[in-house]
A and B are shown apart, each in its own frame.
Chain A
Amino acid sequence: QVQLQESGPGLVKPSETLSLTCTVSGGSVSSSSYYWSWIRQPPGKGLEWIAYSFYSGSTNYNPSLKSRVTISVDTSNNQFSLKLSSVTAADTAVYYCARVGYSGYEVDSWGQGTLVTVSS
C-alpha cells in the first residue's frame, strides 16, 4: 500500500519560508485517481487543509493561506512539496502530507506528520 513520509526542518524562524517534501512509496504521484495534499494541525487544535495538487500541476489553495503557499509535484522523484512564506508563530503545527481521492476528496492515506515550530 502507499506510504507517505514528510521531511524538512523542524524549526523555522519568523518571516522565513517553511519548506517540506513528501516522498511517496508504493504508489505513483502520476496517478490520475488522486490529488496530493498538505494538511496541518496546530498543537491541541483541529485539522486545516492547506493545498492540493494534481500530477499535471493543477493546484488549489486554502483561501486563507493562498498568498503565502506554493505546492508542487515532482513526478520524476515521486515527491511533492510545500512552501509557506512569511511564517509566524501561528504557523506552528504538525504538517501532514496526504493522498486525496480525485472524485470524493477523501483523504485515504496520511504521512505520520512532522512538527514545524516557528521561533527565533
Chain B
Amino acid sequence: QSVLTQPPSVSGAPGQRVTISCTGSSSNIGAGYDVHWYQQLPGTAPKLLIYGNSNRPSGVPDRFSGSKSGTSASLAITGLQAEDEADYYCQSYDSRMSGYVFGTGTKVTVL
C-alpha cells in the first residue's frame, strides 16, 4: 500500500558512498510536503535520521544527508560503516490519504 517507492536493497564497501532514492507523486513529495528518513536496526524500533528533507537530529553523524527535488528525495550515506547496515525508510505526508505514508524500505548491506 506504500505510495513512496524505494529500491529494495543497496550495498557498498566500507568507506564508500551509497544513495537511496524515494519516489513519490504530486500528492505527497511533489506537493511540497517534507520528507523524513528513518533507520531501523534489526529487532529495534525505527529511529529518526533526517527530518525536514535535510536536517539531522542531534546525535546523527554528518555522514548521513538528505535532499529533495520535485517528486523525489534521496538519502546519502558517505563513508559507509558496518554499523550502517540496516533498513531505511522515507516518509512524507500524502494529501490523498490525509495522513503520512512510509516508503517501501531499503536494506543497506555493507560488503
Please report A residues at the B interface, Cβ cutoff 8 Å.
46-49, 52, 60-64, 96, 100-101, 104-108, 110-113
The CA-CA distance from A104 to B33 in the complex, in Å, is: 8
A62-B44 Cα distance, complex, nearest whole Å? 24
Residues of chain B at the chain A interface (Cβ within 8 Å): 1-2, 33-34, 36, 38, 44-48, 51-52, 57, 89, 91-93, 97-105
Q: Which residues of B contact A112 (CB under 8 A)?
A: 44-45
Q: Report whether A47 and B89 are in contact in the complex, using a CB–CB cutoff of 8 Å.
A: yes
B48 touches A106 (CB 8 A): yes
> Are A106 and B45 within 8 A (Cβ)?
no
A46, A61, A64: the one contacting B102 at CB < 8 Å is A46
Contacts of B93 in A (CB 8 A): 105
| Pick from A46, A61, A111, A113: contact of B99, CB under 8 Å | A61
Q: Are B51 and A104 in contact (CB under 8 A)?
A: yes
| Max chain B Cβ within 10 angstroms of own Cβ: one of A48, A100, A107 | A107
Interface pair B36/A106, CB less than 8 Å apart: yes
B100: contacting residue among A49, A63, A110, CB under 8 A: A49
